Homo-oligomer: A and B are copies of this chain.
Amino acid sequence: MIANPASVHQQLITRLETVTVLSDDDKVQLSSLPLHIRHVAQNHNIVRPGEKSVSCCLIISGLACRYKFANGGKRQILSLHLPGDFPDLQSLHLDVMDHGVQALSVCEVAYIPHKAVEALIEASASVGRALARHAAVDASIFREWITNMGRREAMARVGHLFCEMHTRMRALGLGDGSSFVLDMTQSELADAAGLSVVHINRTLQQLRALRLIASKGSVHTILDAPGLERVSDFDAGYLHLRASYEPDSSRDGTSLRRTDAR
């Protein structure tokens, strides 16, 4: 799997078109975007923490994550990234990386100079909107993860992670019906879910025992999607895919009494 620049440009255009309308001129500009394509080995950094970035990275293939270390080196995985994602788009606006980006599987990555991205945004409002929207969805996923870590117990947390990745992959045309590949060790899942490796292992066993999922290697199958979503408190609204979302107007104007908060 060796990406050539032209196919990467096309991949980028296709991805942006899921979100906005691009003019022919936009596409021409996108097609001439300078790319520095690199293969990154498994477990190596795509962007180093603390770095002063001069380019944004686009994941072309593979699975990447953002991460931070807390305390005495306990790692937290902050997000997972699929082909077409820009895991460090914020580096356009922040001088220093407050976290790292790492390849969880072998990855192909395209680095695009900040200057080029800025020029493109300057030139095309559509592209600017699409990138802003990408960043906004990224932040929405962070919010859901905060909720996941703060208010869901282990089984829901892990199940939620699976639901999210399955949904995101299907939106990109990856995965095969109810199966998908998530190339992460249990140790990495633990870092993503804020749990210990041992507990992840036992939680996966529970999910399997309940016949909600099945796994062989890194290929996971969702056996009972509604059941898994129920157990995991999953509602895809926060992914802001082009689907409907039911507004909850039950609290209109009324006071949220402090005791509501529990």
Contact = CB atoms under 8 A, between A and B. Distances in A.
A43 B256 contact: yes
A6 to B, nearest CB: 29
Nearest to A100: B251
A125 to B, nearest CB: 8
Given A146-B145, A150-B194, A156-B71, A133 B256 contact: no
* Chain A interface mostly: mixed
Given A45-B256, A48-B251, A256-B43, A262 B187 contact: yes
Size band of the interface chain A makes with B = 35 or more
Contact of A92 (B132, B194, B253): B132
Contacts of A246: 50
A191 B135 contact: no
A257 interface: yes
A261 B191 contact: yes
B98 A50 contact: no
Interface of A: 41, 43-45, 48-52, 66, 68, 70-71, 73-76, 78, 90, 92-96, 98-100, 102, 122, 125, 129, 132-133, 135-140, 142-152, 156, 185, 187-188, 190-191, 193-194, 197, 233, 237-238, 240, 245-249, 251-253, 255-262
Contacts of A125: 122
Question: Lowest 10 CB-CB distances: which A-B pairs, in order?
Answer: A150-B194, A50-B247, A142-B142, A149-B149, A70-B151, A93-B136, A90-B136, A76-B147, A50-B248, A93-B133
